[in-house]
């Protein structure tokens, strides 16, 4: 761990700590496939019905014998998907029409697509020369056979994974319970969207964004009543946070005289893992444990809060869920326009990724209290401390906002 003299922890060290020190919950539930999308599988799924379940035709065509290549054969029947093929047999000089997905009779050695046949008539067809054994036949178990592991514990249930479960006759599946998250905002200057804001107040945008982000990441979020800036009120609210897997707060952890959140967490028994990160924006970010509950205290400025959620919050949630994929991934891109950077810390820089090019938002001239940069960006890049500019044409590592995490830890810092 690299900690600077002023108590700032290195950005990548902080991220590794979240990955390594967030413990998965042991809670599992059973859900139907109709409600399982996005959830994390709680046990391995083993193949119990081969894929395919039987030899079947990969094409609409003619089921033939290889020895009849280049010959004219008689059409003696037809086989459709779902047909019982007991008793269906062809001899030399014969064929059957067979449809895609239909079971292949034992006597059929290859399938010739309709469009490759020659001289088609009502009772017969001429076959091409190039026919080999097994042509256009999907063999039983060639995709997966009995005992193969189809899905692993920790896999995210995508629509394709759900289709795989259904192919095994599985409809109720055991998954990790959705993490229960408390979303708490602080600040006397904040009014709720359903209230009337006075001239000196602002509406609480952070809570709604964090609630949405938690839902997007597969959580069960709960909004906890707004904490005022008084210390006793803050203590009371923190003491009421029972039964949550994760507590997310925004604001109240900087150096201001009314910033009581960090102090109150410590008084309530928080064991901090880090308190400040060498990151711009997002320096005042605290991570630790309050009993068995993970606490991620985010800054109050919207960009700082939401950007740090994408990095640290999404990783913590993935770890709580027991997901195998719990690391930030990136795509390689080219920086479109040059811009300057304040080099005092690692920098998170918003922009738009399109056709392999990253275009920084408004020449990297925006404040962390703004919302529009998040709305009009779909990606960000990270630069290391000491990097003062990014030139046009430089290669960068772009992280897509809201993208799925990856299994392997990777360095997504864009270096000069």
What digits encode the pLDDT tens for the residues 165-192? Answer: 999 999 999 999 999 999 998 776 777 7
Sequence-ordered strand ranges (E) for 216-300: 220-223, 246-250, 271-274, 279-280, 286-290, 293-298
Mean local confidence (pLDDT), 391-407? 95
SS3 222: strand
pLDDT on residue 323: 96
Residues making up the chain, counted from first to last: 416
Instruction: Tell me whether domains 11-27+178-320 and 56-136 share a fold.
Output: no
pLDDT on residue 169: 96
CATH number assigned to the domain covering 331-400: 2.40.340.10
The sign of the dihedral angle between the CA atoms of 314, 315, 321, 326 is positive
Whether this model's pTM surpasses 0.95: no
Mean local confidence (pLDDT), 146-162? 97
- Of the listed ranges 6-10, 90-94, 339-343, the one predicted with least confidence: 6-10
Question: Would residue 275 be called left, alpha or beta, if left means φ above 0 and alpha means ψ between -120 and 50 degrees?
Answer: alpha
Tell whether omega for the bond before 272 is within 30 degrees of 0, i.e. cis: no
Model confidence pLDDT, tens digit, residues 70-122: 999 999 999 999 999 999 999 999 999 999 999 999 999 999 999 999 989 88
pLDDT on residue 193: 75
Q: Tell me whether strands 395-400 and 331-335 are parallel, antiparallel or unpaired.
A: antiparallel
- Between 354 and 260, the more confident residue is 354
Tokens representing residue 49 in the block: 């019905």
What is the DSSP track for 67-113?
GGTTSEEEEEEEE-TT---TT----TTEEEEE-TTPBPPTT--EEEE
Right CATH for 11-27+178-320 from 3.90.800.10, 3.40.190.10, 3.60.130.10, 3.40.980.10: 3.40.980.10
What is the chain's alpha carbon radius of gyration, rounded to the nearest angstrom? Answer: 30
Q: Taking the domains of the chain in order of start, what are their residue ranges?
A: 11-27+178-320, 42-50+143-176, 56-136, 331-400
Characterize 38-75 residue by residue with b for buried, 16 or more Cβ atoms within 10 angstroms of its Cβ, and e for exposed: bbbbbeebebeebbbeebbbebbbbbbbeebbeeebeb
pLDDT on residue 258: 46
Question: Would residue 34 be called left, alpha or beta, if left means φ above 0 and alpha means ψ between -120 and 50 degrees?
Answer: alpha
Residues 321 and 177 sit within 8 Å (Cβ to Cβ) = no
Mean predicted lDDT score pLDDT of the chain: 92
pLDDT at 257 over 50: no
Right CATH for 56-136 from 3.40.630.30, 2.170.190.11, 3.40.50.300, 3.30.10.20: 2.170.190.11
What span, in angstroms and rounded, lies between the C-alpha atoms of 399 and 380? Answer: 5
The sign of the dihedral angle between the CA atoms of 316, 276, 345, 376 is positive
What span, in angstroms and rounded, lies between the C-alpha atoms of 95 and 39? Answer: 48
Residue 196's pLDDT band, with cuts at 50, 70 and 90, is confident
Most confident of 135-139, 205-209, 250-254, 263-267: 135-139
What is the DSSP track for 204-219?
-HHHHHHHHHHHHTT-
Characterize 338-369 residue by residue with b for buried, 16 or more Cβ atoms within 10 angstroms of its Cβ, and e for exposed: ebebeeebbbbbbbebeeebbbbbeebebebe
DSSP state of 310: I
- Bridge partners of residue 110, in order along the sequence: 64
Tokens representing residue 96 in the block: 């059957």
pLDDT at 2 over 80: no
Rounded-to-10 torsion of CA 330, 336, 342, 347: -10
Model confidence pLDDT, tens digit, residues 17-74: 999 999 999 899 999 999 999 999 999 999 999 999 999 999 999 999 999 999 999 9
What span, in angstroms and rounded, lies between the C-alpha atoms of 142 and 130? Answer: 23
């Amino acid at each position: 761990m690299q900690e600077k003299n002023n108590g700032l922890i290195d950005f990548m060290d902080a991220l590794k700590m979240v990955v390594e020190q967030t413990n998965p919950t042991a809670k599992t539930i059973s859900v139907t496939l109709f409600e399982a999308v996005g959830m994390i599988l709680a046990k391995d799924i083993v193949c119990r019905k081969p894929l395919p379940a039987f030899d079947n035709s990969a094409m609409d065509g003619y089921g033939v014998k290889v020895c009849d290549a280049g010959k004219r054969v008689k059409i003696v029947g037809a086989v459709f998907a779902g047909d019982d093929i007991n008793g269906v047999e062809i001899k030399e000089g014969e064929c059957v029409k067979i449809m895609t997905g239909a079971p292949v009779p034992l006597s059929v050695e290859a399938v010739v697509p309709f469009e490759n046949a020659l001289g088609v008539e009502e009772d017969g067809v001429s076959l091409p020369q190039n026919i080999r054994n097994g042509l256009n036949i999907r063999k039983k178990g060639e995709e997966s056979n009995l005992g193969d592991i189809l899905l692993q514990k920790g896999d995210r249930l995508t629509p394709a994974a759900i289709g795989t479960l259904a192919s095994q006759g599985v409809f109720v599946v055991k998954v990790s319970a959705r993490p229960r998250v408390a979303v708490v905002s602080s600040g006397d200057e904040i009014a709720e969207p359903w209230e009337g804001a006075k001239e000196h107040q602002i509406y609480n945008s952070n809570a709604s964004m964090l609630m949405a982000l938690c839902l997007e990441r597969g959580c069960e979020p709960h909004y906890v009543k707004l904490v005022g800036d008084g210390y006793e009120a803050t203590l009371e609210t923190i003491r009421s946070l029972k039964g949550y897997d994760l507590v997310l707060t925004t604001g109240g952890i900087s150096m201001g005289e009314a910033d009581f959140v960090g102090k109150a967490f410590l008084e309530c028994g928080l064991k901090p893992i880090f308190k400040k990160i060498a990151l711009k924006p997002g320096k005042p970010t605290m991570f630790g444990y309050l009993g068995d509950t993970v606490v991620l205290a985010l800054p109050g400025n919207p960009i700082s809060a939401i950007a740090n959620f994408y990095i640290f919050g999404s990783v913590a949630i993935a770890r709580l869920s027991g997901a195998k994929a719990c690391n930030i991934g990136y795509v390689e891109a080219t920086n479109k326009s040059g811009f300057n950077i304040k080099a005092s810390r690692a920098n998170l820089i918003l922009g738009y990724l399109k056709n392999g090019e990253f275009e920084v938002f408004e020449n990297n001239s925006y404040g962390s209290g703004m919302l529009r940069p998040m709305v009009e960006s779909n990606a960000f890049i990270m630069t290391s401390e000491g990097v003062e500019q990014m030139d046009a044409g430089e290669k960068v590592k772009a992280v897509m906002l809201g993208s799925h995490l990856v299994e392997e830890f990777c360095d997504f810092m864009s270096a000069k």
